[in-house]
Structure 1
Amino acid sequence: MSLPATMVGCSPKSYLTADTAERWLDALVDGLKRTPEQGEGVFVCLPAALLARGVEMLAPLGVVVGTQDVSAHPVGAFTGEDNAELLAGLGARLAMIGHPERVRYFGETPEVFGAKARAAAGAGIAPVLIVGEPERGADPERIIRPQLDAAFGEIAADAPVVVAYEPTWAIGAAEPAPPAHVVGVVARLRELLADRRGPVRVVYGGSAGPGTYAAIAAAGRAAGAPSGIPDGVFLGRAGVDAAGFLATIAEVRST
């Protein structure tokens, strides 16, 4: 599969209910239809229970729809798991892997990330790997390099992948990571991923919202570091507000 050159997306985490999800999807559809680009370059990673509905409503506009998780197990006797083949058949094109909340609350390990990435890629789903250092001031590369190796080390070099830089200390914080810091880490991420032959996209998350991408892009231009400007942003909680998500989409497109 191919990936859009620019990607601005949202994972609404587990904030949505059946009623609020329908209103959120309706608002996104209405807002995107009002733009010439419609869903071009937009992606959403939904709870598996909302995948089919999200594909039905958003995919016709060009939105890339994915899930927030994927099973590490194949088709078989794994009650409660959503295997990659099932998700792909329902229209998933992306699957999140390695989010710090999965580590904190569910004890997921790098070995699990790798198994999930292999399962996703084998079914034609692009893994969206969340990487980042746990504490402010920590060396990002020391943490991120093993995360990349664990998740992508055993999948084909030409498989499409997305990397979301989300330092754990910025997730849920009042402000995203400083723009100059993001520029430096994103530039290094591109170097670490240079051997991959398939489509690679690097986006920033971690308390991202309206204004985040423009600030990072400005910092990258000021530093003369275009490789440090991410390919887009990945919203979490801020994207549950459909108006904020739509505003961010417009911002990335204009920037």
Structure 2
Amino acid sequence: MSESRPRIVPEATVARLAVYLRVLAGLADGGRSHVSSGELASAAGVNPAGLRKDLSYLGPCGVRGVGYSINGLRDRLTEVLGGERSRPCVLVGIGRLGSALADYSGFASRGFQFAGLLDSDPRSVGSEVGGLTVRPVEDLEAVVAETRASIGVITTPAEVAQSVCDRLVAAGVRSILNFAPVALTVPAGVDVRKVDLSVELQVLAFLDQQRDGSAPVVAALRATGGAR
């Protein structure tokens, strides 16, 4: 008899599971003990069928007619997403965005802890942000080794992001969150998540136009009778 293999959770599902965890945290803070699939789906911006499919990767976790135990589902999601233990992170680039991220206290409650901050600007080096002293970027490899960081966050200008990424990978970091406006090239076995705030704002701008019918595509379709 062959051994059963764990189900591989699709990346898109993982992203939604993280959203469900955030919603559950808010409900728990409000004193709630249970939530229905419909309410959780609505708060997360998905349909109930999609929610149930996503949560099926966790195994049985709801009771018909009662819904989900908020604390129980939070614990299960935290376990699956790897948030039950603290993961040290290093952040490179202490500009306005980097400083804001480093100073945000909400990451710790989700299992992420900035353990090292680095920058190339002498005016930033030696300053304190979020309780940590900013070190020169030349110390990157030493900081990764000292902190055993598993995640690197890049908030540098685009022109230096790839070289910083290369150094992080060479130092042993295998997960990178990139805020720099450039696509990074990494070897197999290294995961990169890109956060492009300008793209997200452009998408919102288009959706805003679409709501009042002024988006170019919508207008063109209406002019040719293609939209009803």
TM-score, normalised to structure 2, is 0.37
Q: Which has the higher contact order (CA 8 A, sep 6+)?
A: 1
